[in-house]
Chains A and B, each alone.
Chain A
Amino acid sequence: MKLEIKKVAILGAGVMGAQLACLMANAGLNVLLLDRVVSEEDPDMLAREALKKCGKMKPAPSISKDLIQTIGIGNFEDDLSKLKEVDWVIEAIVENPKIKLALYEKVLPYLSKTVIFSTNTSGISINSLAELFPSSLRNRFCGTHFFNPPRYLKLLEIIPGKETDESLIKFLMEFGESRLGKRTVLCKDTPAFIANRIGVGAIMHVFQLWDKGNFTISEMDVLTGPIIGRPKTATFKTCDLVGLDTLAMVSDYLKETCPADSFKAYYEVPPFVRKMVSEGRIGDKARKGFYQKVKDEKGKLVRKYYDPKTDSLLDWKKEKMTALADAYQIKNLKKRLGFLVDLGGDLGEFYREMLYGTFAFVADKIPEIADDIYKVDDALKTGFGWEIGPFEMWDAIGLEKVVKGMNTMNMPVANWIVEMLKSGNTAFYKREGIESQQFSALSNSYIPVPRHQLFFNLKDHKPSIIWKNDDCSIYDLGDGVLNCAFHSKMNTLGGEVLEGINAGIDLAEGKYKALLVANQGQNFSVGANLAMVFMLALEQEWDELDYAVSVFQKTTMRLRYSSIPTVIVPHGMCFGGGAEVILHGDRVHASSESYIGLVEVGVGLIPGGGGTKEFSKVASDNYYNGDIQLPQLKEKYLQIAMAKVATSAQEGMDMGYLKKGRDSFALQSDFLIPQAKDIALGMASSYIPPVEGKNILALGKQALGMFMIGADSMEFTNYISTHDRLIAEKLGYVICGGDLSRPTLVSEQYLLDLEKETFLSLLGEEKTLQRIEHMLNTGKPLRN
């Protein structure tokens, strides 16, 4: 029988349950959210209130507020009969086996025979929970462990029970990947599964190292943050986010359920943490943890950090440890790790103890928690935000070097590692052509890392690069489709990237069928190369600037008017020039996590690569006979004037960056390139390129007055500065097509020329240059 999920019910509208409901709605599923009755007058109160909170949460659990209202709400007393229609029931109530079992007993009579029933427990044994199920349904039960916040954390641990139907698990693994956009990791039914077992153990280990060392909490977060490929929240800030009480609970649970674990010291909650928990200093939910914001004498909120050793709050400032200065110079994380463990003194000792300790710990857990090492790496990367997993880090430092270090430090080395080295294998991972292979502890040999058939990693396809310069590469994806991938710093768009896009179009027009613009950097593109623009403006190289803007405009226009279809594949941040590239593609296939915005006013400019023109066009395209037009243009104007950024691809569609009915997005970002390739090929067979013409209705003076009044009014009321006003007025002038006496049909080029002239004139403004300089120095906009 074909398994299918159309309707999902979430039992329990707690923080996780409600957000899971949003995630399912994001994936286009029909969702029902149920919880207990706590008020007779309003039996659905818990579910309703939880969703209301979701509407206000930041970052938002939902990709569109409209989706939240599609979620059905109900309660465990009146609505269980609705479960008959449900394909997947996810239980997400309190972590208490008795209460869970009581609920199962209650809902069982209402489940369909073909239901998939899963629990979102983060640690309770799946098999112990499965026991309550009648044998006819036990094969429909498993664990599905999502990570909070579920929209943003990619990990989904799937834990089969002894009797769970294999095809059901296979289906959920696939559904989790392709529909929900998760990295599904098949886990064994061991305490806390993979990510929390390792992640929490590693945190407790860092706690212990801090306790016996001399670094401050604040320094520890520098040492264990991005410098070793961990999130900015590093260790202690992450603990504040998760909650020290929760961490202590998981740790205690591990200690209790793994008495024979040779690393059980890693589950020991240090006394200082116990003390903090007992005093309610448990993290963000109590507004105090390792960090705390307090008012200074001027009433301004400042961040302090807590020092458990002296029980005092100390001043926090963004630390740059001078001892790490050399390490910061090493841009490559893998090389940097090697450098860090080689450092002398306290620093080197700390890194060796911390990293080697973690490595010894994870090695010891193979095959207890997983037969495949890639699962451990996947789980830590997608569940805890590590840039590379523990086995990948180990490889980066060097397997043999680490083992030698472990021996000197009297750390236990797992037997399988010893065997592995004996047989001459010195890395956990290696590559065979485009196939990634992992070392298997069970077979003492290399086996493939299994990936979904649509999984696509550009790094695996380097041999198919047919053109490249420093900032851009063109890949031949086969079947006549090329891909242009940026790889400049933060994927900014400068001369080399533009050259790459043009080369891609030239090549594709020559002997290929279609061009994708896709990359897998952290972000699609944060915009034009501001540093270059700044230097040219400072030196008053107007001709060069004029030329650079012209090239940019011509390039984006070519994306639209070339003879081949172009498909833009955005993800992450897509700002300024990045948004302009998106706006000019023939089609867009986006990651649902695309944050698109024309944010140029933040640096004192207006979009100059066709963005302002495009928003005039988007408004115009939407005018209809009898339309009053002005509100549509005003909305587009305000998006630029207020530098609004879409917080999802869906929102990008609502804001006009993506086109409804034409473009698409997916929750799974790893499959975007093959999907976009299919789209491009579908288009190529019958592609008719658009023809340029005078087809934008520029409203001229009819709309211009409104923008002038708005700018004046906003300045008077202190919402904007005098310079903001200047930019707002100039933006109005361009988006209206100038001071035309009556609405007039104009060409894209007419608006592009206005756009360029205005862009250049703003570069002649001192305050604009100050804004750009500030952005380059601090990464933050300046209000002047």
Chain B
Amino acid sequence: MNVYILNGFRSPVGKAPRGMFRSLRPDDLAAQVVRGLMEKYPSIPKEEIEDCIVGNATPEAEQGLNVGRMISMMGLDTVRVPGMTVNRYCSSGLETIAIAAAKIQAGMADCILAGGVETMSPIPFGGWRVVPNYEVSTSHPDWYWGMGNTAEAVAQKYQVSRQDQDQFAFESHKKALAAQASGRFDKDILPINIQEVYLDEQERRQEKNYMLNRDEGPRADTSLEALAKLRPVFAANGSVTAGNASQTSDGAAFVLVVSEEFLKRHGLEPDARFMSYHVSGLEPRYMGMGPMHAVPKALEKAGLSQGDLSLIELNEAFASQSLAVIRELELNPELVNVNGGAIALGHPLGCTGCKLTVQILNELEKRNQKYGMVTMCVGTGQGAAGIFEKL
């Protein structure tokens, strides 16, 4: 049974922790995107949405208490649509689309709101209280490694030089800036309004309203020389820097996942067909190589070969792993991240999967192309890939 995507929106991506969204809660941010999405499809009665599935990689504090359910109520303005939160780290936003598709294929639903949100501004990486299992911490400490370590491990094992990583990062910024300049993201982005209460220099309470409609990450002032000057942040004599790693970010993205029946019932034209999704596991210390295992399986399930793909969104967690994956899978670099990636545009963890989906569907449309793949490495040794057919 075919499952279809009604393309939605993503918020612009804010820089964390000091960007424009620094004072915006994840539920408020996500609710705005959901409202925008529903305005795009005025013919869909909200009560016919059967679930709201939200990806989030750090579901605690502002993102805790099943933030998916809060978003279903706040964004849809009804208590009738249930909500849940899904955590598969960096593929969470794609995972939610896949779960929605599976529920529809299983006959459990006809229309599901799926996406993801992450605000890294208020919540530290990994969460507030990190409590690894002591026994595992002595037998397999690398299962708990920070992502930077895994990026260094990949750079070492696959011999990705600092120079290549910096070049890759530089290209990411260049492509992202070009895309911004030509309005390539205009269709993806739902402008976000922010209301901020703050104190002025005299400590008087002030309010201000402002709006963000473009990604904060891309830097026009970056250069290969500037990138080369940055010091490694994760390892002494390492090669991974703040410049060739993805940025920490705030963002939200949502789409609607629907059955053929639902499309007919409401006279809607779908944007894409969901073809396949696969997640694989590997040694956590080489986390970054996850796509190497997931991509072939996803292609197989979709009945496609690599050559059939027109566009690939490979999440740029780190330049080291992106390059190693491109080389090992022999991906065509011309097809990968045509509008730049997370190094320039940011990586709001749980949102990223859906954000890249929104982006790739719009880009396929602009190019009048057919098959697109979204893939990413996922923390603690996993990789995910999802394939869509643009209709």
Chain A, 696-743, CB within 8 A of any chain B CB: 701-706, 708-709, 711-713, 716-719, 739
Q: Known pairs A705-B133, A712-B145; list 13 more (Cβ under 8 Å).
A: A628-B129, A706-B130, A706-B137, A708-B132, A708-B134, A708-B138, A708-B141, A709-B132, A709-B144, A712-B141, A717-B234, A717-B235, A739-B134
What residue in chain A is nearest B240 (Cβ atoms)?
A: A717
The interface residues of chain A lying within 8 Å CB-to-CB of B146 are 713
Interface residues of chain B, those whose CB is within 8 Å of chain A, are 128-134, 136-138, 141-142, 144-146, 149, 152-153, 234-238
What residue in chain A is nearest B233 (Cβ atoms)?
A: A717
17 CB contacts below 8 A, A to B, read A628-B128, A628-B129, A701-B134, A705-B133, A705-B134, A705-B136, A705-B144, A708-B132, A708-B141, A709-B137, A712-B137, A712-B142, A716-B142, A716-B153, A717-B235, A717-B236, A718-B238
A265: interface (CB < 8 Å): no
| Cα A701 to Cα B138 with chains together (Å) | 11
| Cα A630 to Cα B327 with chains together (Å) | 41
With A717-B149, A717-B234, A718-B237 already in contact, the answer to whether A706 and B132 are too (CB < 8 A) is yes
Q: Tell me, rounded to whole Å, the shortest Cβ–Cβ distance linking B196 to chain A.
A: 23
The interface residues of chain B lying within 8 Å CB-to-CB of A704 are 134, 137
What residue in chain B is nearest A702 (Cβ atoms)?
A: B131
Which of A703, A706, A709, A713 has most B Cβ within 10 Å?
A709
A-B contact count (CB 8 A): 61
Q: Tell me, rounded to whole Å, the shortest Cβ–Cβ distance linking A367 to chain B.
A: 55
B235 and A718 within 8 A (CB):
yes
With A701-B134, A705-B131, A739-B134 already in contact, the answer to whether A717 and B152 are too (CB < 8 A) is yes
The interface residues of chain A lying within 8 Å CB-to-CB of B238 are 717-718
What residue in chain A is nearest B237 (Cβ atoms)?
A: A718
A705 and B137 within 8 A (CB):
yes
Which of A628, A705, A706 has most B Cβ within 10 Å?
A705
What residue in chain B is nearest A719 (Cβ atoms)?
A: B236
With A713-B141, A716-B149, A717-B152 already in contact, the answer to whether A705 and B132 are too (CB < 8 A) is yes
Q: Tell me, rounded to whole Å, the shortest Cβ–Cβ distance linking B107 to chain A.
A: 43
B236 and A709 within 8 A (CB):
no
A709 and B145 within 8 A (CB):
yes
Q: Tell me, rounded to whole Å, the shortest Cβ–Cβ distance linking B303 to chain A.
A: 41
| Cα A76 to Cα B261 with chains together (Å) | 77
The interface residues of chain B lying within 8 Å CB-to-CB of A709 are 132, 137, 141, 144-145
Q: Tell me, rounded to whole Å, the shortest Cβ–Cβ distance linking A48 to chain B.
A: 14
With A628-B129, A630-B129, A718-B235 already in contact, the answer to whether A713 and B149 are too (CB < 8 A) is yes
Q: Tell me, rounded to whole Å, the shortest Cβ–Cβ distance linking B249 to chain A.
A: 23
Query: Interface code A508-552, partner B: CB below 8 Å = 1, 0 otherwise?
Result: 000000000000000000000000000000000000000000000
Tell me the interface secondary structure of chain B in the complex. Answer: loop
What residue in chain B is nearest A627 (Cβ atoms)?
A: B129
A706 and B131 within 8 A (CB):
yes
The interface residues of chain A lying within 8 Å CB-to-CB of B131 are 630, 702-703, 705-706
| Cα A711 to Cα B237 with chains together (Å) | 18
Q: Tell me, rounded to whole Å, the shortest Cβ–Cβ distance linking A638 to chain B.
A: 14
What residue in chain B is nearest A699 (Cβ atoms)?
A: B131
Which of B141, B152, B235, B236 has most A Cβ within 10 Å?
B141
What residue in chain A is nearest B142 (Cβ atoms)?
A: A712
The interface residues of chain A lying within 8 Å CB-to-CB of B144 are 705, 709
| Cα A702 to Cα B129 with chains together (Å) | 10
What residue in chain A is nearest B141 (Cβ atoms)?
A: A712
The interface residues of chain B lying within 8 Å CB-to-CB of A628 are 128-129
The interface residues of chain B lying within 8 Å CB-to-CB of A630 are 129-131
Q: Tell me, rounded to whole Å, the shortest Cβ–Cβ distance linking B40 to chain A.
A: 41
The 10 closest A-B pairs by CB, nearest first: A705-B132, A717-B235, A712-B141, A705-B137, A708-B137, A701-B134, A718-B236, A705-B134, A628-B129, A709-B144
Q: Tell me, rounded to whole Å, the shortest Cβ–Cβ distance linking B391 to chain A.
A: 46
The interface residues of chain A lying within 8 Å CB-to-CB of B137 are 704-706, 708-709, 712
B235 and A719 within 8 A (CB):
yes
What residue in chain A is nearest B146 (Cβ atoms)?
A: A713
Which of B130, B236, B237 has most A Cβ within 10 Å?
B130
Q: Tell me, rounded to whole Å, the shortest Cβ–Cβ distance linking B36 to chain A.
A: 36
| Cα A398 to Cα B236 with chains together (Å) | 58
Q: Tell me, rounded to whole Å, the shortest Cβ–Cβ distance linking A628 to chain B.
A: 4
| Cα A706 to Cα B129 with chains together (Å) | 10
What residue in chain B is nearest A711 (Cβ atoms)?
A: B141
Q: Tell me, rounded to whole Å, the shortest Cβ–Cβ distance linking B245 to chain A.
A: 14
Q: Tell me, rounded to whole Å, the shortest Cβ–Cβ distance linking B247 to chain A.
A: 21
What residue in chain A is nearest B148 (Cβ atoms)?
A: A717
The interface residues of chain A lying within 8 Å CB-to-CB of B234 are 717
Q: Tell me, rounded to whole Å, the shortest Cβ–Cβ distance linking A434 to chain B.
A: 54
The interface residues of chain B lying within 8 Å CB-to-CB of A706 are 130-132, 137
The interface residues of chain B lying within 8 Å CB-to-CB of A705 are 131-134, 136-137, 144
Which of B137, B138, B142 has most A Cβ within 10 Å?
B137
Which of A628, A703, A716 has most B Cβ within 10 Å?
A716
The interface residues of chain B lying within 8 Å CB-to-CB of A703 are 131
What residue in chain A is nearest B153 (Cβ atoms)?
A: A716
The interface residues of chain B lying within 8 Å CB-to-CB of A702 are 131
